[in-house]
Chains A and B, each alone.
Chain A
Amino acid sequence: MTPPATNFWRIAGMSYLQYVNRAAGSVRSALKEPMKSKLSAQGEFSYKASAWVDGTQMSKTEITSLSQAGK
């Protein structure tokens, strides 16, 4: 049995969800028009996240990309 290999994206410091979404984004960008512009919104999102410390809400941060999430 071959020894277990570590995934290349993990070595690059990505999480599985980041990898999956990057892959999906690459596939979408390889599409031809008009599907390309139609599906471009699938990778876009926005929300405001805030952590709570001792029952108090900290400042809100606008999250627009996956790399910003959870910070």
Chain B
Amino acid sequence: MASMASLRTLSMTTAATAARRIVAPRTVSMALGTTSTQIQVQSQSQRRGMATEKQLANKIQSTKNIKKITSSMKMVAAARLKGEERRLAASIPFNQWTYEMFSEPKFLEEATFVDFPQKVLIVPFTSDKGLCGGINSFISRGVRNMIAKLDEQSKQADVCVIGEKGRGQMQRMLTGNQIKRTCTDVVAPGNYTMASALSTELIKAGAETDYDAVIMVYNSYKNAAVYNQMYKVITPLKTGGEESETGGSSNEALAGYDFDSEKAESMSDLYEFIISTNLYHSFMDGAAAEQSARMTAMEGASSNAGEMIDKLTLQYNRARQSRITTELIEIISGASALEKKK
């Protein structure tokens, strides 16, 4: 009885409205008294087939909002990159003289590390924040490979991580007790006082006394689109009469000099200073690479969002067009049905 009444009501409405109601399967099934399971199946198939106009409009709006955020982040990263470039340029002469005593930074990729001494302290420089591409993963993977190669050569390596992202990744990657110390949530931009404090952390971790070398692993900024993973080897300075184990850096460079104070003390001070200047440079290089990577990543994200908006807009227009066409067909068929009755 209820279904008959519904159908009667339907016939009393205008042709267009009635036709629209007839097309909607849920309305028809309710009017004909179909079960709730059938209704559910029908509505699920409707959802699976094509998103509604409203859903598409919501998706387009949210993607537009995401695009706005990524574009802003790109602009912020570009502005910060300028500052980081300036700070990096200032840090290079601060550090470059140490290359005379040790060696220039080397590429991490495909390095064999055969020239490393027996026990080393690895210091990977990573960022505290994400959304900057793969810079942290490259460093973590590089350190993992380095440790694996050193293990093959029966050499020992411990790690002092700088940066929250590196801490998390190293914790997952390194199974042993290699991590000795972590320094996270470093407030940017860095300065030499911060580098001195981080150096003090390394020295307290035994960089001078317990290890034969400190290895700094960092991203080196080349330009806004290119950065490389590099490493530096810094070995403690030996005082007169001691033999260098590696034959690399030793006291030879300063052998001809007289010292006002104890030579051992001066060498220890010089080593502290060398670690801090290298750390300062590596940190600045890593910070510039982070901003450039973030800029590139956000540019990519904005462009992807734009593509997604275009696709969704196309879908939305198709759905809208199809609805209008259906409505027109319904009106025309309704009108022709009325004409036939007359």
Contact = CB atoms under 8 A, between A and B. Distances in A.
A and B co-occur in one complex: yes
B261 A70 contact: no
B196 A7 contact: no
Contacts of A41: 191
Nearest to B191: A42
B107 interface: no
A66 B196 contact: yes
B176 interface: yes
A52 B196 contact: no
A50 B161 CA distance: 10
Interface in A1-19: 1, 4-7, 10, 15-18
A21 B196 contact: yes
Interface residues of A, number: 36
B197 A66 contact: yes
A48 B196 contact: no
Interface string A31-71: 00000000001111111111110110100100101101111
Contacts of B201: 49, 69-70
Nearest to A42: B191
Contact of A57 (B176, B182, B185): B182
B260 A4 contact: yes
A49 B193 contact: no
Interface residues of B, number: 38
A49 B180 contact: no
Contacts of A44: 191, 193
B179 interface: yes
A17 B265 contact: no
Interface stretch (B78-86, B247-255, B269-277): B269-277
Nearest to A70: B204
B261 A7 contact: yes
B192 to A, nearest CB: 7
A9 B217 CA distance: 32
Contacts of B184: 47-48, 50, 60
B177 interface: yes
Contacts of B179: 52, 55, 57
B194 interface: yes
A6 B197 contact: no
B187 to A, nearest CB: 4
B198 A47 contact: yes
Contacts of B192: 21, 24, 42
A6 B185 contact: no
B182 A52 contact: yes
25 contacts: A5-B260, A7-B265, A16-B269, A17-B199, A17-B200, A17-B272, A20-B196, A21-B192, A21-B196, A41-B191, A44-B191, A45-B197, A46-B185, A46-B186, A47-B183, A49-B181, A49-B183, A51-B181, A52-B182, A55-B176, A69-B196, A69-B197, A69-B198, A70-B204, A70-B205
